[in-house]
């Protein structure tokens, strides 16, 4: 029976990506190896996050432990684990982490062709209260690894070859795109494997939810303010949208991807470029949204067309269901 087949034929993330890559004759498994190291980082963070509440008791992060050594905070620890895992994969040449001011140029003997931009633990304000947080990553591939420079990652998001995130929530979910759709995998803790649970994710064409930090409304520009007003008081007789905002980009985007709707982190008078970072927040999430049939817009252009000029550049972002993003695009176009 097919029901039996489902239980005994487990599609792990490694097997899935190997299958995907085997469609490219030139593939030599490098991406699969890179991914398995990203996955290792995610498993480590997942386990650390789930024990975070016990940290004081068993000495995991923060505070000083019995030996009197200063212990590492969860975000610092996660960053170190990802960097070491990525370098040891032998498949990377440049790493850009939210936690590090400078890019890491991998030493020649350990170099491979991939550049990975990542936020090892995003949603810092939610760490201490046990609310969902996540890791976000975007991957570029270099043609020539001999003299890598940061110019090699200051490229538009549409040049990425893969992007994804891992959400440490009620379960640990990894969502990935290698440019051929979006697939979701859930960590089976007893196996230690990510199993395909959400094949070929497509975002609903229109949604019923908007997601934004409305506490910043007094400083918004006109198009954003008008859009949110229309979510609450629709003029076309439709029902108002619901508001959901966690304050963890991974969790807010994950819900948007599955249920539809729109996520906004707009510019405001205090932060004219918004808050979220282009290379490891805006680009990976925009890549996933487009791959799932949605859209992503900066207030000026398609987000994946933006060309960053510095590593930690920020950009306003509006992403989600195709029709919902169309509406905000129209408001910005009218304001020009
Ligand atoms: P962080 O990198 O300090 O964790 O900040 C990023 C987070 C995102 O996960 C989230 O979308 C946003 O900040 C929420 O910001 P705000 O608290 O201003 O609404
Ligand atoms: Mg962040």
Nearest atom in ligand 1 to 265's CA: 11
CB-based contact 201:257 (threshold 8 Å): yes
Q: Which band of pLDDT confidence, cut at 50, 70 and 90, is reported for residue 73? A: confident
Share of the chain above pLDDT 90, in %: 82
Ligand with smallest separation from the Cα of 137 = 2
Whole-number Å distance, alpha carbon 99 to ligand 1 midpoint, is 14
Distance CA 293, CA 208 (A): 17
Residue with CA nearest ligand 1 atom 7: 123
ipTM, interface predicted TM-score of the complex: 0.97
Q: Ligand 1 pocket check: which of 133, 214, 220, 247 to mutate, most ligand atoms within 8 Å of Cβ?
A: 247
From the CB of residue 62, how many other CB atoms can be counted at a distance below 10 Å?
18
Distance CA 212, CA 220 (A): 11
Distance CA 89, CA 66 (A): 34
**Residue 63 backbone class (left: φ over 0; alpha: ψ -120 to 50; beta: rest):** left
Residue with CA nearest ligand 1 atom 2: 122
Residue with CA nearest ligand 1 atom 17: 247
Strand-strand pairing, 111-122 and 92-97: parallel
Pocket lining for ligand 1, CB < 6 angstroms: 98, 122-125, 213, 247-249, 252, 265, 275
Nearest atom in ligand 1 to 126's CA: 4
Residue with CA nearest ligand 1 atom 4: 123
Please give the structure tokens belonging to residue 272. Answer: 């004219």
Whole-number Å distance, alpha carbon 75 to ligand 1 midpoint, is 14
Q: What is the per-residue pLDDT across 138-177, written as a single tens digit (0 to 9) for each?
A: 999 998 878 899 999 999 999 999 999 999 999 999 999 9
What is the pLDDT of the chain when averaged over all its residues?
Answer: 92
Give CA torsion, residues 305, 308, 314, 317, to 10 deg. 0
Nearest atom in ligand 1 to 248's CA: 9
How far from each other are the two terminal CA atoms of the chain, in whole angstroms? Answer: 59
Q: What is the per-residue pLDDT across 45-58, written as a single tens digit (0 to 9) for each?
A: 999 988 877 765 55
* The pLDDT of residue 65 is above 50: no
| Per-position DSSP letters for 278-322, written without gaps between them | IIIIIHHHHHHHHHTT-EEE-SSSBGGG---SSTT-B--EEEE-H
Whole-number Å distance, alpha carbon 135 to ligand 2 midpoint, is 9
Q: What is the per-residue pLDDT across 171-184, written as a single tens digit (0 to 9) for each?
A: 999 999 999 999 99
Q: Which band of pLDDT confidence, cut at 50, 70 and 90, is reported for residue 27? A: confident
Nearest atom in ligand 1 to 98's CA: 2
CB-based contact 272:298 (threshold 8 Å): no
Distance CA 22, CA 265 (A): 38
CB-based contact 240:232 (threshold 8 Å): yes
Distance CA 300, CA 308 (A): 14
The per-residue pLDDT for 22 is: 86
Q: Ligand 1 pocket check: which of 100, 118, 122 to mutate, most ligand atoms within 8 Å of Cβ?
A: 122
CB-based contact 79:120 (threshold 8 Å): yes
Nearest atom in ligand 1 to 263's CA: 11
Residue with CA nearest ligand 1 atom 18: 213
The model's pTM is 0.94
The per-residue pLDDT for 55 is: 65
| Per-position DSSP letters for 97-155, written without gaps between them | ETT-SSPEEPPGGGEEEEEEEEEEEE-GGGTTTT--EEEEEEEEE-S--SS--GGGT-S
Q: What is the per-residue pLDDT across 228-243, written as a single tens digit (0 to 9) for each?
A: 999 999 998 999 999 9
Q: What SS3 class is residue 12?
A: strand
Distance CA 279, CA 261 (A): 23
Q: Ligand 1 pocket check: which of 100, 127, 210, 213 to mutate, most ligand atoms within 8 Å of Cβ?
A: 213
DSSP state, residue 1: -
């Amino acid at each position: 029976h097919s029901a039996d087949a489902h239980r005994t034929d487990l599609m792990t993330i490694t097997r899935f990506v190997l299958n995907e890559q085997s469609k490219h004759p030139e593939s030599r498994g490098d991406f699969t190896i890179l991914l398995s190291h990203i996955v290792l980082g995610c498993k480590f963070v997942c386990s650390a996050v789930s024990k975070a509440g016990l940290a004081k008791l068993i000495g995991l992060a923060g505070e000083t432990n019995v030996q009197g050594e200063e212990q590492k905070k969860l975000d610092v620890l996660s960053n170190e684990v990802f960097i070491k895992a990525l370098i040891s994969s032998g498949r990377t040449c440049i790493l850009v982490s939210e936690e590090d001011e400078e890019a890491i140029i991998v030493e020649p003997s350990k170099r491979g062709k991939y550049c990975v931009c990542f936020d090892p633990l995003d949603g810092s304000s939610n760490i201490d209260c046990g609310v969902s947080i996540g890791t976000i990553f975007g991957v570029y591939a270099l043609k020539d690894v001999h003299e890598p420079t940061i110019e090699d990652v200051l490229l538009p998001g549409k040049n990425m070859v893969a992007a994804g995130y891992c959400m440490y929530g009620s379960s640990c979910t990894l969502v990935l795109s290698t440019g051929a759709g979006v697939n979701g995998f859930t960590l089976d803790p007893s196996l230690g494997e990510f199993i395909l649970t959400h094949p070929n994710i497509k975002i609903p064409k229109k949604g019923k939810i908007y997601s934004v930090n409305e506490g910043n409304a007094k400083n918004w520009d006109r198009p954003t303010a008008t859009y949110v007003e229309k979510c609450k008081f629709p003029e076309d007789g439709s029902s108002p949208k619901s508001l959901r905002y966690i304050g963890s980009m991974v969790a807010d985007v994950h819900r948007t991807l599955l249920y539809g709707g729109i996520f906004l982190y707009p510019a405001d008078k205090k932060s004219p470029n918004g808050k979220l970072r282009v290379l490891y927040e805006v680009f990976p999430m925009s890549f996933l949204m487009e791959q799932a049939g949605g859209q992503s817009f900066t207030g000026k252009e398609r987000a994946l067309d933006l060309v960053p000029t510095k590593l930690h550049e920020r950009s306003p972002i509006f992403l989600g269901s195709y029709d919902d993003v169309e509406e905000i695009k129209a408001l910005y176009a009218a304001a020009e």
